[in-house]
Structure 1
Amino acid sequence: MNKIDIQHIFVNYHSMKSETEAIKDISFKLKKGEFLSVVGPSGCGKSTLLNVICGLIKPSKGHIFMDGKEIKGLTTKIGYMFQRDHLFEWLTVWDNVCIGLKVQHKLTKENKDKLEDLLVHYGLEDFKNYHPSELSGGMRQRVALIRTLALDPEVLLLDEPFSALDYQSRLKASDEIFKIIKQENKTAIMVTHDISEAISMSGRVIVLSNRPARIKKDIAIDFQDDSLTPLNRREHPKFRYYFDSIWKEFDLNDSGK
């Protein structure tokens, strides 16, 4: 059984004078533990697709299934990591990672112990009493991801999670976040405008057309060595092949029709 099954999703935006097609007949499936990236021209509807999957936006047509059951709204089984970390600056790292559990009245001793383990495992134990302004950009992203993992979602949605970082920090953070997602065995869908980032982190890359978004290509990424980190993948001989294969699908003048 597929973890996620997206079936014929359409999204149309309505105004008093017109109707705009944002997404046009998108379908794909993900297995448990799969990491999929979605790329496409700026403004093509990548983030809209994530918002539909997590239940923030209701599709005009189509269905989304998780483990064979239809998703019809927001669910704690899906965790969403936005472009910015949205950490509360007046709270400590510890209070930030606990906040979701507090809101849901689930901050039990067992969950506290799990959070402590995550902070230790991912190098943040010594910073639990720091405030976000005292952390590097990459560390802030790790805190944001651990806060998301605290609720134990089965699927992670990542909306350009490294876009606020400089290039060097972005490379380091992508390695760290990839490692966490892999070790926690989460199913993940990441939206990014960075083709290199998509190739280095994913097992598949879906290329969307210009708006209205449709799938132009679904490309399997296989470096034949699961131990490679995203940085290692960028140095692999097959990296250039995948980059060229995806780039040639980009047509900024494509109407998507």
Structure 2
Amino acid sequence: MEFLHANKTQLLGDDILNKLVVNNIYMNYHSPKSSTKALENISFTVDKGEFLSIVGPSGCGKTTLLNIISGIVKPSSGEIYIDNEKLTSFSSKMGYMFQKDQLFQWLNVWDNVFLSIKIQHKPVGKYKDKITSMLKNYGLWDFIHHYPEELSGGMRQKVALIRTLALEPEFLLLDEPFSSLDYQTRLNISDEIFRIIKKEGKTAIMVTHDISEAISMSNRVVVLSKRPAKLKKIYNIDFEKHHDSPLKSREDPKFRIYFNSIWKELNH
């Protein structure tokens, strides 16, 4: 089992093309009476095609970090780079999948998927074939006229993912995307969504409280400390053999070793 200490990670100065770079991120929240440190000196890179998960104690600032990576929130200091370009606002290269599916109850599946395209005044025809193909390939074509209340929780998450993929982002940011689902559904849909992300060739960064989920889905797991969050370790997830699904990864002999190590790190 391998891990990297945060202070040994060299980011800038190396070739940062085809990478997302999180460089020396600090985040402070200010009020009239006080200042609160949320994030402190966080740096790491994400290679194209990688699946990276971020775990840490509750309230440590994981979602804040994801929002900074997306460009939605500006850090107090530090930079985010995508393909060697500094991020100054939300990038079209980013797709964000939230904790809740955010589907509109009065729109059917087809209209929900196309909503982001229409909001951005993109030509619907340009994306129609791609979206039709995804809906067919991922088991939703027979439900395009159904409304969210007629779908299971797992199906709603797939619709949300396809809507996110509709604008063809390079990077997917996932904020606790399965937290609202029951355990069995969560296992099954995480397996399906993992396969979709890999088949579509996307780079993914996921925030989760679930250590097992992080290990089974990821190439690497970033462990943050309690607030103010610092980067403690980055675990390289290297199973004894390649697995094409998170469910199979959970059966690997090294899975429990990673779990115990990350659990101890979080509680240290």
CA drift of 1:82 comes to 0.4
Unmatched 5+ stretches in structure 2: 1-16
1:7 aligns with 2:29: no
The 3-state SS of whatever aligns with 2:67 is helix
Match of 2:88 in 1: 72
Q: Residues of 2 paired with 1:232 and 1:63: CA distance?
A: 37
1:43 aligns with 2:59: yes
CA drift of 1:131 comes to 0.3
- Counterpart amino acid of residue 208 in structure 1: L
The 3-state SS of whatever aligns with 2:266 is coil
CA drift of 1:227 comes to 3.8
Aligned residues of 1:9 and 1:25 also touching (Cα < 8 A): yes
Q: CA RMSD in A?
A: 1.0
Match of 1:142 in 2: 158
Q: Residues of 2 paired with 1:199 and 1:228: CA distance?
A: 13
Deviations 1:52-74 (A, max 9, x none): 01111110000100000000111
1:93 aligns with 2:109: yes
TM-score (norm 1): 0.96
Match of 2:11 in 1: none
Q: Residues of 2 paired with 1:21 and 1:222: CA distance?
A: 34
Unmatched 5+ stretches in structure 1: none
Match of 1:190 in 2: 206
1:231 aligns with 2:247: yes
Match of 2:4 in 1: none
The 3-state SS of whatever aligns with 2:24 is strand
Match of 2:142 in 1: 126
The 3-state SS of whatever aligns with 2:37 is strand
Choose which of 172, 178, 198 in structure 1 pairs with 2:194.
178
Aligned residues of 2:19 and 2:48 also touching (Cα < 8 A): yes
Mean CA deviation greater in 239-248 or 11-20? 239-248
CA drift of 1:226 comes to 3.4
CA drift of 1:109 comes to 2.0
Match of 1:24 in 2: 40
TM-score (norm 2): 0.92
1:248 aligns with 2:264: yes
Q: Residues of 1 paired with 2:122 and 2:36: CA distance?
A: 41
Deviations 1:188-246 (A, max 9, x none): 10000000000010000000000001111100001243343100111111100110111
Choose which of 151, 157, 174 in structure 1 pairs with 2:167.
151
Choose which of 210, 215, 225 in structure 1 pairs with 2:231.
215
Aligned residues of 1:2 and 1:29 also touching (Cα < 8 A): no
Aligned residues of 1:78 and 1:156 also touching (Cα < 8 A): yes
Aligned residues of 1:98 and 1:107 also touching (Cα < 8 A): no
Q: Residues of 2 paired with 1:225 and 1:118: CA distance?
A: 29
- Counterpart amino acid of residue 145 in structure 2: N
Identity, in percent, stands at: 62
Aligned residues of 1:53 and 1:64 also touching (Cα < 8 A): yes
Q: Residues of 1 paired with 2:105 and 2:62: CA distance?
A: 29
Q: Residues of 1 paired with 2:217 and 2:23: CA distance?
A: 25
CA drift of 1:37 comes to 0.2
- Counterpart amino acid of residue 196 in structure 2: I
Q: Residues of 1 paired with 2:89 and 2:259: CA distance?
A: 35
Residues matched between the structures, number = 252
Deviations 1:122-176 (A, max 9, x none): 0000000000100111100000000000011111100000000000000001001
Q: Residues of 1 paired with 2:162 and 2:241: CA distance?
A: 27
Q: Residues of 1 paired with 2:203 and 2:241: CA distance?
A: 19
